[in-house]
């Protein structure tokens, strides 16, 4: 087949975080598919390029549409926010490919990295990911809540720094508070640093530093990435009232 499909990420929001590779792919694409607000970040399409916007819960249908277009010989790009391989469209494309037309497996399909929200949020506050960490989505749209809780328990048992994606929405405003409760019950102490990073890289960016004892889950929304430190994560005070750096030392001495 002569068509191609590239899956790209736009980063969390700052246009400077879109990679030159992604910019070149989007400039060459004949068909660009994505969640409507992500496509709006690209500005107007060039002459001859078509845009296909869809809702954020239509990932598999979007992936099938993209594969169909590529199968006709078109140069297709599918857009994600952040990195396309982190809770995003790359997995949806391969899921659609596995369950769909066997001919799709012969297509030229490539995935191109972007800046994911956990990296942008961590950079804003220091280096909280300086040692081992894990990433968990709190959404139960595609997995049971019991599995989320088991993974939170495992993260505490392993003393990982935690990055939490999809922490709140209008349909599930309770889950972040329940996750914080579970972390406390599993043994993460009240003094553990917590960072709520909303809309990182955008004009309305908001960074909140707190502890697990006093963090208010109501301050998070669907644009928020949450970082929860390990037992070794520290806050490094700074002069003149500036917010502290949050970091996790790289070294762990034998016990």
Q: Going residue by residue through the chain (255 aa), what tens digit of pLDDT does each one get? A: 679 999 999 999 899 999 999 999 999 999 999 999 999 999 999 999 999 999 888 999 999 999 999 999 999 999 999 999 999 999 999 999 999 999 999 999 999 999 999 999 999 999 999 999 999 999 988 899 999 999 999 999 999 999 999 998 887 889 999 999 999 999 999 999 999 999 999 999 999 999 999 999 999 998 999 999 999 999 999 988 899 999 999 988 887
CATH superfamily to which 117-247 belongs: Tetrapyrrole methylase, C-terminal domain (3.30.950.10)
Q: What is the pLDDT of residue 1?
A: 62
Residues 201/205/206/207 CA torsion (nearest 10 deg): 10
Q: What is the pLDDT of residue 172?
A: 81
Q: What is the pLDDT of residue 169?
A: 81
CATH 3.40.50.970 fits 4-111, yes or no: no
Q: Is the pTM of this model over 0.85?
A: yes
d(CA 11, CA 103): 31
Rg, the chain, Cα only: 20
Domain ranges of the chain: 4-111, 117-247
User: ∠ CA 191-193-198 to the nearest 5 degrees?
Assistant: 140
d(CA 163, CA 145): 17
Cα 28 to chain centroid, rounded: 25
Alpha-carbon distances, residue 30 vs 4, 79, 157, 245 (angstroms): 10, 13, 48, 44
Say if CB 123 and CB 117 are below 8 A apart: no
Note every long-range contact of 51-60, with CB atoms under 8 Å and residues 24 or more positions apart, other chains counting.
57/141, 59/89, 59/92, 60/92, 60/95, 60/96
Find the helix packing angle between 89-99 and 59-71, rounded to 10°. Answer: 70
H helices of 3-144, where? 20-28, 36-40, 59-71, 89-99, 117-125
Beta strand spans in the chain (E): 4-9, 31-35, 50-54, 75-80, 108-111, 126-127, 133-137, 161-165, 193-198, 206-211, 224-228, 234-236, 245-247
d(CA 228, CA 194): 5
Look up tokens 């942008």; give the residue.
120
d(CA 215, CA 233): 16
Say if CB 84 and CB 90 are below 8 A apart: yes
């Amino acid at each position: 087949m002569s068509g191609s499909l590239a899956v790209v990420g736009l980063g969390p929001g700052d246009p400077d975080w879109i990679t030159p590779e992604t910019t070149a792919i989007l400039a060459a694409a004949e068909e660009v598919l994505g969640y409507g607000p992500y496509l709006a970040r690209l500005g107007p399409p060039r002459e001859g390029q078509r845009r296909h916007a869809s809702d954020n819960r239509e990932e598999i249908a979007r992936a099938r549409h993209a594969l169909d277009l590529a199968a006709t010989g078109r140069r297709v790009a599918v857009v994600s926010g952040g990195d396309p391989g982190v809770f995003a469209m790359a997995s949806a494309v391969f899921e659609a490919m596995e369950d769909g037309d066997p001919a799709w497996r012969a297509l030229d399909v490539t995935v191109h990295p972007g800046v994911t929200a956990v990296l942008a949020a961590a950079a804003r506050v220091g280096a909280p990911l300086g040692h081992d960490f894990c990433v968990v989505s709190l959404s139960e749209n595609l997995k049971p809540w019991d599995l989320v809780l088991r993974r939170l328990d495992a993260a505490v048992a392993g003393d990982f720094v935690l990055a939490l994606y999809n922490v709140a929405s209008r349909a599930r405003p309770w889950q972040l508070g329940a996750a914080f409760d579970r972390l406390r019950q599993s043994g993460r102490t009240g003094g553990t640093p917590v960072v709520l990073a909303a809309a990182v890289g955008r004009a309305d960016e908001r960074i909140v530093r707190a502890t697990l004892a006093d963090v208010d889950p109501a301050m998070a929304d669907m644009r928020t990435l949450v970082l929860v430190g390990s037992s070794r994560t520290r806050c490094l005070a700074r002069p003149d009232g500036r917010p502290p750096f949050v970091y996790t030392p790289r070294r762990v001495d034998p016990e």
